[in-house]
Amino acid sequence: MSDSVRSSHLRISARFSDPAPLEAVIDRLRHQGVPDGDLAVFAHRPIHINLPNDVSFLVRAAIVAGIIGIGLGVALTAGTALLYPLQTGGKPIVALSVVGLISYETMMLCAIVATFTALVLSIRRTSERLSAHRPLNDDSAGLAIRLDIDDQRAGRVRRLLEEAGAAEITVVRDDS
Amino acid sequence: MQPAPTQSRFDRINRDLLAPLFGASRTYLALISVLSAFVVAGGVAWIYQIQTGIGQTNLNPPIFWGVYIATFVFWVGVSHSGTFISGVLRLTKAEWRRPITRIAELMTLFSIIMAAICVFVHLGRLWRFYYMIPYPNQRELWPNFRSPLMWDATAILTYAVGSTLFLYLPLIPDFALARERVQGWRRPLYGILSLGWRGTHEQWHRLEMTMRIISVLIVMVMVSVHSIVGLDFAVALVPGWHSTVFPPLFVVGAVHSGMGMVVIALYWIRKIYRLEPYIETQHFDKMGKLIIVTTLVWGYLYFVEKLTHWYGRVPDEMAVMDAQLYGQFAWLHWAMIVLAFVIPMMTLSWPSFRQWPLGLMVVGLLINIGMYIERLLIIIPSLGHPRLQYAWGAYMPSWIELTIMTGTLAFFALLYLLAIKFVPLISIWEEKEGLAHVR
């Protein structure tokens, strides 16, 4: 199989005015061999579907950035002592309590910004996968399926979606 | 099993909650004009102060902090509304928070902007603000991190950034919805602001997780910010300030005034935009109950703080307390007690009163007047009564100070009114989610 053929897919979109049958449809698609990674449900409100999704990277981003933030706070306050070495009666110029206070704030700042940034990057990445699917302009739920080019299989999926009550089904070939 | 929420109910939510974005009544435009006039007056007064010097204020030794700092503390306090309501109620999964969070979060953002403005106004030579930013320089100058004002700068920066992102996060899906439903100049703007949001199951899960993480962080920042503002006073050896109770007293006082301000906004937004189906009397009832809690805790801490000073009978401390309780500031002090404690307790303890939105709005207003007086009473009597009696002084704000501070109040209201035309005041997706939960 050439590279160009291997990267071609069918993008099937189905719109459901009631998201209730989606769970059953997804189960049946799984039985037909469609991997979870090729399925996406989208809507203008949260719909909780049993599809895998990884959120652990957000926690990791918060923790790592928080640690970096502590380092930043310590560097700022301790940097004062290094770059501006005033002699203050033999006492350190920066008290530990001050290092703690500033580091606490910088830890929070870095953790918040990093978590937000991680989310924004993930939004863009997941949205790119749906670029071939038309956005919804109402409160229905959309099901996006990516299939290898196989007319028979596409026909079976289409019938399945029709039986489940999909209001609108579109199939496009994605050669990207 | 009850029937699923129909499309028509979702359509109604979309229609009702996007409606305030469009059109502007004459009253709205008139209000914008009046507020703009106040803002311009405040701006002109500030420019005049910059041009002619900080001597235009009545800040003279021993009173070097006046209404600017009192107003700064007040706005930081108001900013706690959004974080407390949104953050804490989100973490506790309180269902009734849904129509309130956005209104409170917007309040947080704008009040923190006002607080920052107050700092710059108080700086006098505001072009030297960069002295607070650490950067290598030839003069070997470096910010003095031992100063509580540097703690303030760091905390306020963290809080401002965190609050902005905390407001923005739940707005992303609403911007995406608006992107698909509006035309004209707003469409590309909402397109950019929605960051390409498509509402996939992964995006929703990640948004929820991000909001959970940031809720925890922002609540921790909220507590630290007003604690640090309290420490601005508590770490100084000024009579009346040097108290370990100050940081928690400031945090609770901040939440107290913030809740009062949210009730005011809830009342007017509900009334003007006919949002009674969303902001119900039960929301006022629950806000009223929370205000009782903050009133009691604030009253308790205030009493403990005064009792400790009174029992110690340290002459310098007693001079300040006497001025507050029986002296020249007594009328202000007792007015504050009545406005911030007695009236909320006497009214909100009645369940039927809590069901009366107008009544709650008035109580919220009185609480805020009372809490503003409290900020003045923390600053002025203490600075006016230093340890050496010959240095005692008095303070009355100049017209420049009053004009600038009135300008910040007008600017706050103006920003809020402008935001109404740009941001859905009630989180649309959360309302729909709530409808699904009811199901």
DSSP string across B157-174: HHHHHHHHHHHHTTHHHH
Residue B180 has what pLDDT?
Answer: 87
Residues from chain B that touch A137, judged by Cβ atoms under 8 A, are 180-181
Residue B147 has what pLDDT?
Answer: 85
| C-beta of residue B370 within 8 angstroms of C-beta of residue B336 | yes
Residue A176 has what pLDDT?
Answer: 64
Q: What is the mean pLDDT of residues B225-246?
A: 92
Residue B244 near chain A (CB below 8 Å): no
Residue A130 has what pLDDT?
Answer: 78
Residues from chain B that touch A124, judged by Cβ atoms under 8 A, are 195-196
Please name the residue of chain B whose CA is at the shortest distance from the CA of residue A100. B151
- Name the residue among B67, B68, B63 with its Cα closest to residue B323: B63
Residue type, A50: N
Give dist(CA B49, CA A108) in Å, integer: 36
> Does the pLDDT of residue A153 top 90, yes or no?
no
More confident residue, B438 or B100: B100
| C-beta of residue B227 within 8 angstroms of C-beta of residue B247 | yes
Q: What is the mean pLDDT of residues A2-31?
A: 78
| C-beta of residue B221 within 8 angstroms of C-beta of residue A108 | yes
Residue B154 near chain A (CB below 8 Å): yes
- Among A83-97, B110-124, B128-142, B349-363, name the one with the lowest average pLDDT: A83-97
Give dist(CA B155, CA B139) in Å, integer: 26
Could you tell me what percent of chain B has a pLDDT over 70? 97
Read off the pTM: 0.91
> Does the pLDDT of residue A121 top 90, yes or no?
yes
Q: What is the mean pLDDT of residues B412-437?
A: 90
User: How confident is residue A4, by pLDDT bands cut at 50, 70 and 90?
Assistant: very low
Instruction: Give, for B271, the enclosing helix (H) or strand (E).
Output: helix B246-272
- Name the residue among A72, A111, A18, A10 with its Cα closest to residue B3: A18
* Residues comprising chain B, all counted: 439
Measured CA to CA in angstroms, residue B80 lies from B245, B305, B337 at distances of 19, 22, 21
Residue A91 has what pLDDT?
Answer: 59
Prior bond of A19 cis (ω within 30°)? no
Give dist(CA B138, CA B384) in Å, integer: 39
Q: Which of B1, B18, B190, B200 to mutate to test the interface with A (most CBs of A within 10 A)?
A: B200
> Does the pLDDT of residue A88 top 80, yes or no?
no
Give dist(CA B208, CA B222) in Å, integer: 20
CA B357 to the chain's CA centroid: 20
Give dist(CA B288, CA B349) in Å, integer: 8
Residue type, B353: F
- Do the Cβ atoms of A135 and B198 come within 8 Å? yes
Residues 368-397 of B with CB under 8 A from A: none
Instruction: Count Cβ atoms below 10 Å from residue B220 Cβ, excluding itself.
Output: 17
Give dist(CA B255, CA B296) in Å, integer: 12
- CA triple B65-B105-B253, angle to 5 deg: 40
Question: For tokens 């609403």, what's the residue?
Answer: B174
What are B166-193's pLDDT values in tens digits? 999 999 999 999 998 888 888 999 999 9
- Do the Cβ atoms of A105 and B154 come within 8 Å? yes
Residue type, B87: G
- Computed over every residue of chain B, the mean pLDDT equals 91
CA diameter of chain A: 85
Please name the residue of chain B whose CA is at the shortest distance from the CA of residue A95. B146
Residue B374 has what pLDDT?
Answer: 96
Could you tell me what percent of chain B has a pLDDT over 90? 77
Beta partners for residue A88, in sequence order: A91
Residue B173 near chain A (CB below 8 Å): yes
- Do the Cβ atoms of B224 and A108 come within 8 Å? yes
Residues from chain A that touch B14, judged by Cβ atoms under 8 A, are 139
Q: What is the mean pLDDT of residues B383-393?
A: 92
Ordered strands of the A9-16 beta sheet: A39-43, A141-148, A9-16, A168-174
- Do the Cβ atoms of B134 and A80 come within 8 Å? yes
- Do the Cβ atoms of A108 and B158 come within 8 Å? yes
